[in-house]
Structures are given as structure tokens and as C-alpha cells.
């Protein structure tokens, strides 16, 4: 499997000529979802869910399918009957040749006064985990953890402890659009030294074989 990092929390996974895109939100490139055979969205916040990007991808490829939680599915299902699937914690399905299991139920707490929305994470091919906006720990081993490194709802001690709890072989940063270049070396050093896993990041557009 090959991963191509897009801006913020969007990633493109490629395998056997098929493409799976996760969270092509408003911070990602305009064409982040282009060419997707399958699309996954973790939750409804606009940095993860952009309706225009998803509509364009589904219109361009009549065989493309979307799997997501109810709040997002309800906005797109009427226009694409039979192609938008609602999922929740514990579900398992195949998407364009990728095996996917769903983990998690709620977005992390931003502030007690802000209601929590539903959030699901996706474990792809029993190997790579994208948690969306939560520090969900799957009930099975993870080889590659896509790590939400910087957000209004987390701090670096929580990020480090999350890596320790999941125990992946490697962690690759996502949710990083708001992290300044000045802060990146600090995050790299501390997460790499204390997380207990190989830690790295990819610039938008960069790829890596997993």
C-alpha cells in the first residue's frame, strides 16, 4: 500500500491500481478526492468534510462509493442513491479492494461547552489507522498510525501518550495544517523521543510505501 499525504488530515491510499481517499476536507487541495474509487469521511467538521470535493469525485467516477457517518451521509445520499453508505463503530466492509474496520464514536472534547459530534476512525487492511478527531485506540494492533498531531482539542502530552497506548510500528503526522514551521522541530523531537514508535511526517504531495 502506498500513502500520499495531502494537506491537513487528508490522505490518499493506493493499492493494485485502486485509490482510497480519507477526509478530503476544506483545508486539503481542491483535487484531493479526484480519481478516488472509494472515499471515507470521519466526521462533519469542514476541515475533514467538504461537500463540493466529494460531489465532484462521485460525479467524475460513477463507480466511486462513499462510507461515512450519518450526519455526512444524509447530505449526499439523495444525490447518489446506493453509493453512500452509513457506518458506525464495529462495522467492517470492503471499499475498492481495501478492507476497512470502523472504530470510535465521538469527537474529542474541544471544550465542555461545545457539544461533541460523532467521529469514527478507519483501520485499513488491518494495518493503517486514521482516527479522525479523536484519540481512539483500536482493539487490534496497528502498524501505521496517522497521528493527529496538532488541534484545538489536544496537547502534545496527550499525543505522546496516544502513540504509547496504540503502540504502532510507525506514526505519521496528520491534522497538522495549523502547526507552524517554527513548532515542527519541537513536536518531531518530543514525539520521536517519547512516543516509543518511529515518528515522521510527509509534506503535502509526498508519498511513502507502507
Asked if the structure places residue 30 within a domain, the reply is: yes
Distance CA 206, CA 196 (A): 24
The tens digit of pLDDT for each residue in 20-29 reads 999 999 999 9
- List the domain range (segments joined by +) for residue 149: 2-205
What is the Cα Rg of the chain in Å? 16
Phi/psi-derived region of residue 126, left when phi > 0, alpha when psi is between -120 and 50, beta in every other case: left
Are 108 and 134 spatial neighbours (Cβ–Cβ below 8 Å)? Answer: yes
Task: Look at residue 92 and give its three-state secondary structure.
Answer: strand
Predicted local confidence at residue 190, as pLDDT: 97
User: Which residue reads 507502507 in cell numbers?
Assistant: 210
* Segment 139-166 mean pLDDT: 97
Distance CA 150, CA 123 (A): 21
Domain count, the chain: 1
Helices 184-194, 156-166: crossing angle, 10 deg rounding: 40
The tens digit of pLDDT for each residue in 109-146 reads 999 999 999 999 999 999 999 999 999 999 999 999 99
Asked if the structure places residue 210 within a domain, the reply is: no
Predicted local confidence at residue 15, as pLDDT: 98
C-alpha cell at 140: 487490534
Within 13 A of 143's CA, how many CA atoms are on the CB side? 8
Residue 7 sits in a domain whose CATH number is 3.60.15.10
Share of the chain above pLDDT 90, in %: 100
The tens digit of pLDDT for each residue in 13-70 reads 999 999 999 999 999 999 999 999 999 999 999 999 999 999 999 999 999 999 999 9
Predicted local confidence at residue 39, as pLDDT: 98
Are 120 and 138 spatial neighbours (Cβ–Cβ below 8 Å)? Answer: no
What is the layout of strands, in order, in the sheet containing 121-124? 92-95, 98-103, 121-124, 128-130, 144-148, 170-174, 198-200
Rounded to the nearest integer, the mean pLDDT of the chain is 97
Number of H helices, E strands in the chain: 4, 14
Beta partners for 15? 18
Amino acid at each position: 500500500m502506498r500513502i500520499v499525504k495531502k494537506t491537513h488530515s487528508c490522505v490518499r491510499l493506493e493499492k493494485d491500481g485502486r485509490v482510497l481517499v480519507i477526509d478530503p476536507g476544506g483545508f486539503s487541495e481542491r483535487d484531493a478526492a479526484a480519481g478516488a474509487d472509494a472515499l471515507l469521511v470521519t466526521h462533519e467538521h469542514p476541515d475533514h468534510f467538504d461537500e463540493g470535493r466529494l460531489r465532484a469525485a462521485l460525479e467524475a467516477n460513477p463507480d466511486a462509493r462513499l462510507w461515512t457517518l450519518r450526519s455526512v451521509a444524509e447530505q449526499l445520499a439523495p444525490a447518489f442513491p446506493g453509493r453512500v453508505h452509513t457506518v458506525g463503530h464495529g462495522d467492517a466492509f470492503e471499499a475498492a479492494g481495501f478492507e476497512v474496520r470502523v472504530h470510535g464514536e465521538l469527537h474529542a472534547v474541544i471544550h465542555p461547552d461545545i457539544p461533541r459530534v460523532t467521529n469514527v476512525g478507519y483501520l485499513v487492511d488491518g494495518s493503517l489507522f486514521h482516527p479522525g478527531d479523536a484519540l481512539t485506540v483500536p482493539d487490534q494492533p496497528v502498524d501505521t498510525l496517522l497521528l493527529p498531531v496538532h488541534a484545538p482539542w489536544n496537547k502534545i502530552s496527550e499525543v505522546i501518550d496516544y502513540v504509547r497506548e496504540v503502540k504502532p510500528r510507525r506514526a505519521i503526522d496528520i491534522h497538522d495544517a495549523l502547526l507552524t514551521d517554527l513548532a515542527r522541530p519541537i513536536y518531531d523531537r518530543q514525539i520521536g523521543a517519547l512516543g516509543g514508535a518511529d515518528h515522521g511526517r510527509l509534506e503535502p504531495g509526498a508519498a511513502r510505501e507502507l
